[in-house]
């Protein structure tokens, strides 16, 4: 089983149906060699498995993502974790929502059920351990000691290694339609939105402010993978770590409004991003979060540099 030290025993809302976590994702990339270099530099434990790569976090046995090689970048599927006794109920939910169950992709073992979201993104709901946190993870942003050097020497800094996958932001051609789908079929709940531009959704069994976010585009795709670290200091160190490896393009340091997390995004070789994130809002299992619809200026970031002009561009729908 995955050992994530900040977690306590699984919790759930009795009687309510909903996925509890993002279990993993599959991303097709043009070069596994480039992917191995990028994600290893980012601080992930990248392991070769046959003709693919697995993305792990150090000190944990959970596989957060798999990478396959193909002609162009594509998010091929998202896998969500559910409690074992809920899987039959999810099958019934698909039928009641007129969502067609399909076979799993060739070469992928599965104990779950497969179907597509309104934009054709392949979705799996599988029996899996709960990897979303059951309490707000500890963040270390300490006040400096008096009469002592508080910053480490640069030569003594340890590599930044994220603790877990926090959330995924995907593109959707119709954000309202996607909200309805992920609410009615997967049991996620809306946390916040900004009109039809972007929305954030959380798990009902206790999760961060969002497990997934949905951004308006002309089709499906991956915008970013967000990885949790323990402090703002770790975010800054991560940005420097990537810049030292030649990955300086991105956006940050800053702080988001919706979710409240501190961030730095690093652009990957295919135009999407990996985010160092810390101190995101947390929604307990017994709390009913009141979703808001926020103006664009109050939905993006509180402070930080101006984002790149193409920050929200969907490279997966661009003509090859």
Q: Please compute the mean of the pLDDT values over residues 65-83 and round it to a whole number.
A: 96
Task: Indicate whether 200 pLDDT > 90.
Answer: yes
Strand positions, DSSP E, 42-175: 45-49, 52-56, 63-69, 74-82, 113-116, 122-127, 164-172
pLDDT band at 150 (very low <50, low <70, confident <90, very high): confident
Domain boundaries defined on the chain? 21-130+164-303
Per-residue pLDDT, 218: 94
The topology (CATH level 3) of 21-130+164-303 is: 2,3-Dihydroxybiphenyl 1,2-Dioxygenase; domain 1 (3.10.180)
For residues 245 and 35, give the distance between their C-alpha atoms in angstroms, rounded to a whole number: 13
Question: Residues 93-130: pLDDT tens digits?
Answer: 999 999 999 998 887 778 899 999 999 999 999 999 99
Classify the phi-psi angles of 171: left when phi > 0, otherwise alpha if psi is within -120 to 50, otherwise beta.
beta
Q: Give the pLDDT confidence score for residue 187 in this predicted structure.
A: 98
pTM of the shown model:
0.94
Residue 216 has pLDDT above 80, yes or no: yes
pLDDT value of residue 47: 97
| 319 pLDDT above the threshold of 80 | no
d(CA 127, CA 112): 6
Check whether 86 has a pLDDT greater than 80: yes
Residue 3 has pLDDT above 60, yes or no: no
Computed over every residue of the chain, the mean pLDDT equals: 94
């Amino acid at each position: 089983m995955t050992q994530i030290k900040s977690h306590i025993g699984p919790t759930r809302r009795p009687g309510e149906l909903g996925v509890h976590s993002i279990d993993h994702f599959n991303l097709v990339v043009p070069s596994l060699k480039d992917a191995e270099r990028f994600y290893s530099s980012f601080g992930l434990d990248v392991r070769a498995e046959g003709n693919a790569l697995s993305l792990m976090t150090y000190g944990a046995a959970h596989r957060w993502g798999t990478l396959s090689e193909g002609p162009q970048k594509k998010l091929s599927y998202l896998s969500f974790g559910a409690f074992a006794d809920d899987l039959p109920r999810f099958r019934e939910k698909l039928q009641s929502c007129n969502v067609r169950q399909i076979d799993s992709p060739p070469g992928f073992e599965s104990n779950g059920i497969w179907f597509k979201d309104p934009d054709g993104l392949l979705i799996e709901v599988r029996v899996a351990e709960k990897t979303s946190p059951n309490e707000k993870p500890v963040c270390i942003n300490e006040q400096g000691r008096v009469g002592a050097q508080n910053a480490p020497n640069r030569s003594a800094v340890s590599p930044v290694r994220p603790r877990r996958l926090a959330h995924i932001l995907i593109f959707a051609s119709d954000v309202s339609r996607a909200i309805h789908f992920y609410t009615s079929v997967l049991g996620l709940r809306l946390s916040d939105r900004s009109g039809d531009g972007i929305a954030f959704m959380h798990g009902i069994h206790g999760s961060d402010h969002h497990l997934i976010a949905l951004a308006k585009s002309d089709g499906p795709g991956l915008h970013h993978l967000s990885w949790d670290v323990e402090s703002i200091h770790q975010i800054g160190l991560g940005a420097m770590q990537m810049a030292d490896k030649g990955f300086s393009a991105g956006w940050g340091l800053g702080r988001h409004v919706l979710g409240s997390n501190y961030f730095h995004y690093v652009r990957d070789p295919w135009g999407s991003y990996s985010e160092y994130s810390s101190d995101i809002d947390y929604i307990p299992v017994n709390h009913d979060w009141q979703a808001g619809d926020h103006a664009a200026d109050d939905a993006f970031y509180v402070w930080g540099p101006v984002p790149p002009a193409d920050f929200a561009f969907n490279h997966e729908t661009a003509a090859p």
